[in-house]
Chains A and B, each alone.
Chain A
Amino acid sequence: MYYLFLMIIFKSVLCDNTNSLFHFFFCSQEKIERRPRKAPSDIDGYAVEPIHQQEIFELVDIKDPEHPYSLEELKVITQDAIEVDGNRVLITFTPTVEHCSMATVIGLCIKTKLMRSLPSRYKVDIRLAPGSHATEAAVNKQLNDKERVVAALENPNLLRMVEECLAPTYI
């Protein structure tokens, strides 16, 4: 059911851009504490630390839309399910149940988070683990369609949901 709902939203969003006007009237007052910290020894200041599996895994520390747990705790994503190959990242996630209505939202969250956190040269592909979901193919197609993703994020309701899921990772 939710899948259908999403489809409707995806479409309706394309002709609804009025919300962007609000950008100019509200501001966030998020205050982030900072203190000078004792530096770890900067042994080789110029050495390059490549982005690897674990770093991406730490980035995908997302709250489940339906539970107060993180995706890691629910074993929706594991570190082994992340493949990094050059500038390509492939993430395979496993919904908790086969008919999980939130699979699309979870995928969207992961995608949004990585799009915001990885350098732009990376291409992120998200897919459901084979056989883990009833409408696997449809969800996969939806998640890897660039335009649909952008459109979805223009929708205020959906964006709010995504932001809520991503929020705890920024504390």
Chain B
Amino acid sequence: MAKLSSLVQHIEAFVDVSRPANQQTVSIDAVASLLKNDLLTIETLVKEMEMYLTTTDNIIRARGILLLGEVLTCLTENPLGNATVHSLIRFFTDRLADWQALHGALLGCLALLRRKSDAGMVTGSDARALAESYVKNLQVQSLGQHDRQMCFELLECLLSGYPNDVASLGDVLVYGICEAIDGEKDPRCLMVTFHLVEILAQVFPDPSGPLAHYAADSFEILSSYFPVHFTHPKSDDLYVKRDDLSKALMLAFSSTPFYEPFAIPLLLEKLSSSLPSAKVDSLKYLSSCASKYGVDRMEKHSREIWLALKDTIFTLSSENVLSVVSESPDAMGFQENEVVKEGLICLHHIILQNSNLFINLIVEDEDVEVIFRSVTSCRSYNDITVEDRKKLYMLGRILSVSAQVSSSSCSRIFQTFFLRLMDILGVPLDGSFLLSEKLNSGALYLCIELLAACKNLVLDSQEYASKSFSLEDTCCSLLRNVSAALTDALSSILVLRMDQGVSEDIYSGVKGLQYLATFPGFLPISKPLFENILAIFMSIITSGNERALLWKLSLKALVQIGTFIEKYHDSEKGLGYMNIVIEKFIELICTDDSVMSFRLKLEAITDIGSTGKDFMLRITQGMEEAISTNFYEACIKENLKAVEILLPLLECYSSKVLPWFQNTGDFEKVVLNFAINIWNQIENILTVSTCFQKKDLLDATMMAMSLAVGMCSEENQAMIVQKAYNVLSLVTSLPLNESLPLSAPINVEGLEHSQYLYSFSSVDEWLISLFASVIMAVRPQTEIPNVKLILKLFVSVLLRGLVPAAQALGSMINKLPVKLNSTEGSSTCTLEEAMDIIFEANLWSLSVNDPLRKCNIMDRNKVGITNLFLNIYENVTVPTQAIVGLAWIGKGLLMRGHEKVKEITMLFLRCLLSSGKIRIFPVQQDSLGDCNGPDIDPFVMRSAADAFHVLLGDSEVCLNRRCHATIRPLYKQHFFSIMMPILLSSVAESDSSTSRHFLYRAFAHVISGSPVIAVLAEAKKLIAVILDALSTLSVDVMDKDLIYSLILTLSAILTDENERDAVTENAHIIIDRLIGLTSYSHKMLVRETAIQCLTALCGLPYVRIYPMRTQVLRAILKALDDPKRIVRQEAVRCRQAWESISSRSLQF
């Protein structure tokens, strides 16, 4: 009973119009959930609501019926008994007559009609009754928008759900629908209406049926919407776009062939409208209607359609045909405008439908004939008038579209036009071409268009074996006959007009040859002819005139031919291509001729190679040979020329070839070969005593090497590492020989070879750098032989200033495992052990009698670092390099999220603070004695500050994704949040100016390296320090890039909404500092950004900024006279903003 009483409450709440809307929705939901949970049946509800549904009070009755309708809408999934559905639909059907309560009735009908069959549906007879009632009672046109839309949806449901039952109503229904949709204007309703007509056509397909009877009337209603003119603003709640409407209307137009007598004349008439969108629509509708109405019905219109299309295409061809050959050689021709494009598509559809008839129309058309004659009458392209050029292109497009439809149409067009063109060009059907005079440009163009069409047709028919294309077709036999002579003719253009030809002719010539070469295997050109074409292109390429259009086009054509061969797996042509093009190119690379610049050759060869895998493999092979030969030349004989060749080769290898392989996959072998090959080369060279000096060559080799290694799998990487290690151990001056204990506890004394530290030749530098580049790129799991020894080697060479060694060390530390598997050999080591080696090896201690050695037993790690630090007073360069090394090691640790990075950063901090006479290690003060106190050299401090750049910067060379680094998520944020408080307090504590300068430098590095989000979160604390840093750093020119990154960070803070309060608080000092920077003479970007920041500050509360106004304006006045234009422009903007603070107020 309780339920029932709540039900009554809900019903009352809904029926009462004065209640707020949200309360009413709540009641609907409550009632619906009662029904869903079977706590209430529909019957009970109806009984309970009886009074509301039958009362004579219109408003209450309407609300009652609406409630029932809304509840049913919520229940579409719940099963209902047939009897219930029947009685409900009868009720709603009756209520359609009750215009005051119509809304609820429509809603209820729709909800019931949309039910799925498994939940109880409306029966056919009920649907019929509903339709009858609909036709009898509803005056759709007089209803409101929402009700109209529901009415149409109701009809849509009836027609699509119960076509047979409703169809029996016949004329009455069709008439009713026509009446309902007449004059509809709302786009949402129209969408439904158009769809309604479409369904109607399916319901009454009978040619003597009611729709056929009312075709004229219904089309008249529809036709008034064409062409759709819909200017409703885009962003609104209607969600209907012009294109949707137009498409729906098109489907309605083409829904039934009965519309044919009315639609086609209308469309043809609108085609001659001046509105481009109307033309485009007409053409689209025409294509769609033609295919729906059928051949027979369309036949009688074909003549008019052809005339209209011809007219549209010829008169509307684009205005800017003058730029026929655009800069990019692939886009021949003109910008086809929308109408012409649509016109050609329409032509294609219509020819496809009735090809014989239409081809006849085209072939026999007088205009076509006239145009054909006029455009082929001029010899040179330049003689053709602009008007004729347009016609020429359009004729070409029409012919090519018609020829592409089917093999019969192709043959027909070829028979009619191609023969004549051959005749005009002077190409005999049999025999060879004898060049007499200049070729006819117009004829040439048309000929090429036809060739392209024929080629596409053949390719299409091959692809979808649906259309059979026989060898015996006229056009093919024709082509076979003329191909040799045509090739000669085309190549004669290219050869003769190499320098001064009309670009259109050259274009046609190249394209023609390309099309001939890309006909599928059997047709129509022979193998020697194909090779001949390739040879022609190659001769153009080797002439090396890269500026000329011809050269570019030829390269493009070769690339196209290569792509074609790869796509259609044409092995015979592939062979020819390989022999003629690829081999020739490889020869070009290997030999040295001055016709083409070497970089150009490389560019061309990689373009060609990227067309297919086999080609690329061969090319890589050739490149490797070239690298080998030149490597030897460059390193042994110090041949400068060889270096000049080698450099671009290696660069090309790393920038083009390797990425290509990475994209295509399956590259392991090639890449492995490359890496091993280089090491072989090095090994060979080592036997001869030699001098490596080329730094840039080393860089290029390292880059290629690290890229190649990075791409390999673990096994292959292990092979490369092993190979490299073997080569490395050949060099006796390096500590990799057996005399050193490998796995025994580290013998500190054994490593103190000052002699090898200093006998470090350029060969060693090469070897170690290259080895380092391999180590940087390996995957974490890759096995590295003798890790400990390698670590020691790197540690030792690091002090020679070899940064790659430091980077490799960082990479190793980043990737070493924390725990060893028992299966692994003794040659690997854990991170812990590696750290021990680095820190305790004592390599940084240059004075043998270091008192700290004794402390080793206590705490090895700590003392290791201490050692490093304490002994750096001896020599300035060594500690600087040690710090660089430590920075990279620290980066490796930081990226994997290891704790020890803290110790390293603390060391840097101590370096920075030291000149302030701060006791560094108070604990060990006693043992250190006289070591305390002395100032650290500024160079050391500087490198300590820059170490933060290494720590937080993204390196291109190592420790990135490509090099398979272990990267802990958010490691920068983490580091930032730990370091920032320490740095801030250090800055506050430091009392020496040098120290503070370098602290600010470190601070700037940390700020600019960290993600902006992290910085913004701390902005309140940072603003003041950033400003101080800006003023401190702006003294030194060297810091200009840091200044720029700082001011960018500052500008991010200034524009962040959340930081507004902090900025407002500090407005005074910020503006002061920015004003200072507007005259920063060392970097234009700093000045520009400073002024932009000032402009942004204008948005702060008036009270805060007004006092600063004169000061800012004075500074800006100076900036107006800045040497740089961009700064002046910003200054103008800024001045306006600040001036307006006062002048705006004048308006009040």
Contact = CB atoms under 8 A, between A and B. Distances in A.
B1083 A42 contact: yes
Given A24-B1106, A33-B1096, A120-B1121, 12 more contacts: A22-B1145, A25-B1148, A26-B1102, A28-B1144, A28-B1145, A30-B1098, A30-B1137, A32-B1099, A34-B1095, A42-B1084, A116-B1139, A119-B1120
B1132 interface: yes
B420 interface: no
Interface string B1116-1135: 01001101110010001101
Given A36-B1051, A42-B1085, A27 B1135 contact: no
A57 to B, nearest CB: 13
Nearest to B1119: A119
Contact of B1128 (A26, A39, A55): A55
B1132 A116 contact: yes
B1102 A27 contact: yes
Nearest to B1049: A36
B137 to A, nearest CB: 54
A39 B1096 CA distance: 19
A29 B1112 CA distance: 17
Contacts of A30: 1098-1099, 1137, 1140
Contacts of B1128: 51, 55, 117
A88 to B, nearest CB: 15
A155 to B, nearest CB: 9
Using C-beta atoms within 8 Å of the partner chain, give the interface range for chain A: 35 or more
B1082 interface: yes
B690 to A, nearest CB: 39
Interface string A15-31: 00001101111111111
Contacts of B18: none
Interface stretch (A4-12, A135-143, A159-167): A159-167
A51 B1106 CA distance: 31
B747 to A, nearest CB: 53
A23 B1142 contact: yes
Nearest to A121: B1121
Given A59-B1132, A117-B1132, A118-B1120, A160 B1101 contact: no
A1 interface: no
Contacts of B1125: 49, 51, 55
B1137 A170 contact: yes
Interface of A: 19-20, 22-36, 39, 42, 45-49, 51, 55, 59, 116-121, 156, 159-160, 163, 166, 170
B1146 interface: yes
Interface string B1073-1092: 00000000111110001001
Given A22-B1145, A116-B1132, A156-B1146, A32 B1120 contact: no
Given A36-B1052, A55-B1128, A119-B1121, A19 B1137 contact: no
Contact of A163 (B1084, B1101, B1105, B1143): B1143
B1106 A27 contact: yes
Contacts of A34: 1051, 1054-1055, 1092-1093, 1095-1096
B1055 A33 contact: yes
B1055 A35 contact: yes
B1082 A28 contact: no
A25 B1135 contact: no
A-B interface, 9 closest residue pairs, ranked by CB to CB distance from nearest? A27-B1102, A119-B1121, A26-B1145, A48-B1123, A31-B1099, A36-B1048, A117-B1132, A28-B1144, A22-B1145
A166 B1136 contact: yes
B1123 A116 contact: no
Residue of A27, A34, A51, A170 contacting most chain B CB atoms (<10 Å)? A27
Given A27-B1102, A27-B1106, A120-B1117, A32 B1137 contact: yes
B578 interface: no
A19 B1098 contact: no
A156 B1128 CA distance: 28
A45 B1083 CA distance: 6
A30 B1081 CA distance: 29
A45 B1148 CA distance: 44
B187 to A, nearest CB: 30
A32 B1095 contact: yes
A34 B1092 CA distance: 7
A26 B1148 contact: yes
A46 B1144 CA distance: 37
B1015 to A, nearest CB: 12
Main secondary structure, interface of A, reads loop
Nearest to A36: B1048
B1147 interface: yes
B1143 A159 contact: yes
Given A28-B1144, A30-B1140, A156-B1147, A49 B1117 contact: no
A45 B1037 CA distance: 12
27 contacts: A22-B1148, A24-B1145, A25-B1148, A27-B1105, A27-B1106, A27-B1141, A28-B1141, A28-B1145, A31-B1096, A32-B1095, A32-B1133, A33-B1055, A34-B1096, A36-B1048, A42-B1085, A45-B1082, A45-B1083, A46-B1081, A48-B1123, A51-B1128, A116-B1136, A117-B1120, A118-B1120, A120-B1117, A156-B1147, A160-B1147, A170-B1133
Contacts of A45: 1082-1084
Given A32-B1137, A33-B1055, A116-B1136, A49 B1124 contact: yes
Contacts of A29: 1099
A55 B1121 CA distance: 13
B1100 to A, nearest CB: 9
Contacts of B1083: 42, 45
Contact of B1123 (A47, A121, A160): A47
A118 B1135 CA distance: 11
Contacts of B1139: 116
A29 B1044 CA distance: 28
A109 to B, nearest CB: 13
Nearest to A155: B1146
Nearest to B1120: A119
Contacts of B1142: 23
A39 B1147 CA distance: 38
Contacts of A47: 1123
Nearest to B1145: A26
Nearest to A44: B1084
A31 B1085 CA distance: 22
A46 B1084 CA distance: 8
Nearest to B1012: A36
A32 to B, nearest CB: 5
A31 B1060 CA distance: 12
A159 B1146 contact: yes
B1063 to A, nearest CB: 13
Contacts of B1106: 24, 27
B1099 A22 contact: no
B1102 to A, nearest CB: 3
B1143 A49 contact: no
Nearest to B1131: A117
Contacts of A35: 1055
Contacts of A19: 1146
A48 B1146 CA distance: 38
A113 to B, nearest CB: 9
A18 to B, nearest CB: 11
A4 to B, nearest CB: 24
Contacts of B1124: 49
Nearest to B1144: A28
B1098 A32 contact: yes
Nearest to A25: B1145
Contact of A49 (B1055, B1103, B1123, B1147): B1123
Contacts of B1144: 26-28, 163
B1082 to A, nearest CB: 7
B1085 A39 contact: yes
Contacts of A31: 1096, 1099
Contacts of B1082: 45
B262 to A, nearest CB: 45
